[in-house]
Amino acid sequence: MQARRGQRANGHALVPAHSDAKNARNPPPRGRARGREGRWQPPRTNLTASRQVNQLEYIPSVSRSSGIDKDGDSLKDFRMQEAYWEFIDGKLTAVWEEYLNQPVCQNESAKRKRVENQTNVLILFRTSFCTRALRGMLFVNFAKGSYPRAAATNSHCKVRPIDEYHSTHPLFPSRTTSELDISHLIAVYETSLYLSIMFESSVGMLDTTSILSRLVPGMYTAVLQPTQPPQLSSSLPSASPALSSTSTWISPTSSSLLSSPSRPWSPSRPSASLTAILMLLHTLILTHPSQRAYFDTLQSIPERILDRKSEMYGWIRAVARSLGRCDFVEFEKLTRGSDIFEFVTSVGDVKGVDSDLDPKSRLANSKPDSNLNSHSTSVSNSRLHKTVPSEHVLRSQRKPDLPKTALRVLLSRLRAKARDRAWVIFRSAYREMSEEDKLRRWLERYLALESVESASLEKMEECVLGMGKIALDDWMRERERDGHIRRKEGAAGKWVVCKVR
């Protein structure tokens, strides 16, 4: 190609002859030029706010390029991490405000929009953090093969040495090779688990199964010490105060035991036990009325995660037993206002999800470690953790209690499953029913129409998540529209039960 008069060809563009030598040597790239001089550069920090938000939308891209740079290393920049977590925080806060301001009974378009927003938040968690941290960390051969589920499923997920990983990966605190800390990854997985349970999106059900398979027994087994059982009280209300100070943990990269009560960065025992309970409830919901998968899942959970002598284990076994025996009155009693809510409250009070993700509590309770770089601990960790989307970071003043709300949602879904089966059995056993007060009270217990915890249901849980009390009269009218019952002619206050066909 010949240059016009007054211009000369240089590189990929025609540069004016009167331009200075610096611009002539480094001409700006044209289009999507990928030449030596037209290599695409990472996003600048002085971009406008709207342009930054548009670029952050492309980070959860499924491609290896992460939608921003061709090497997929955008999240290695701490400033990019902070901006991205603020971006996720804004998305999540918008979902909470939508939950609180709009009722659950909406038209199809509003419901479709709400579910779409929930799906987008789950995708942000799944593809941007969890998947990338999984590629960078869980496929690293830490603990010398003690992690059983560390098989790479993608061809581009390469197993790298621990030293190389620590020198390049930015998503975790800068630590020496003797202490590869995965507690932060576990805490984010737990937050994503609670959100996937709470949301109505169909992606959430798949995410719940996937996250549970990663956490139990894999991640918890890699961190909890397998030889010495932790000292855990069997009573639920008093189990949490002594957990963090008596648990013994093993480093994922070292065979030496680290029995230090002052280590606040290890995943807490009540958090692991709660995840196991959520996993069992999720299995009961998916396979109801069959319980074969439930027993297989229960057998796969190690005792150091769910103590077989604890009241939590006794509670979940009693719930499954009542379902298997079709004792729906006992099932309703076990799943409403039980002591397990006190245990879940203690998870957040001691060292559960909140303290695992809160950087202030970590730095305040942690002692100086000679193996850590003090500068990287004080600077890098504060940059890394201060924008993680935990309950401490959410801006909404009416944010939900994630662990407790997730448990309530699963219990409400399980009660709905049991209610349908109980009604089928009732229709097969009775020909007619009356509206006497005694029978009405029995039906409310038998059909589990009461709320999960009617004394302390919050506005969001009762009005938006649909976990409030179901009025018996409204429920009977719905069954009448479905053709299950009809009014008895010539008899006031009596119903004829139509047989199951």
In this predicted model, what pLDDT tens digit does every residue of 61-109 receive, in sequence order? 645 445 555 556 666 676 776 777 788 878 888 887 776 666 555 677 8
State phi, psi for 487 to the nearest 5 degrees: -65, 140
Token pair of 469 as six digits = 């009390």
pTM recorded for the entire structure: 0.65
Distance CA 117, CA 63 (A): 22
Q: Which amino acid is present at 289?
A: P
Instruction: Give residue 236's pLDDT.
Output: 41
Q: Is 139 helix (H, G, I), strand (E, B) or coil?
A: coil
Give the model's pLDDT for residue 336: 83
Structure-block tokens of residue 301 = 């959970």
Task: Tokens 């589920």: give the residue.
Answer: 149
- Please state, as a whole number, how many other Cβ atoms lie within 10 Å of the Cβ of residue 13: 14
Q: Is the dihedral of CA 114, 117, 123, 124 positive or negative?
A: negative
User: 96-135 burial, b if ≥16 CB within 10 A, otherwise e?
Assistant: beebbeeebeeeeeeeeebbebbbebbebbbebbbebbbb
pLDDT for residue 71: 59
Going from the C-alpha of 299 to that of each of 208, 276, 280, 411, 451, the distances in angstroms are 19, 11, 11, 21, 31
**CA separation for the pair 157, 168 (Å, rounded):** 15
Would you say 444 and 426 are in contact if contact means Cβ atoms under 8 Å apart?
no
Chunked in runs of 10, what are the mean pLDDT values of the chain (501 residues)? Answer: 51 50 56 53 53 66 52 68 77 76 68 82 67 42 35 33 36 36 71 87 76 86 56 39 33 30 46 92 94 96 91 93 95 79 59 40 38 30 36 46 87 93 94 90 91 52 60 91 90 86 69
Domain ranges of the chain: 7-40, 74-413, 426-497
pLDDT reported for residue 468: 67
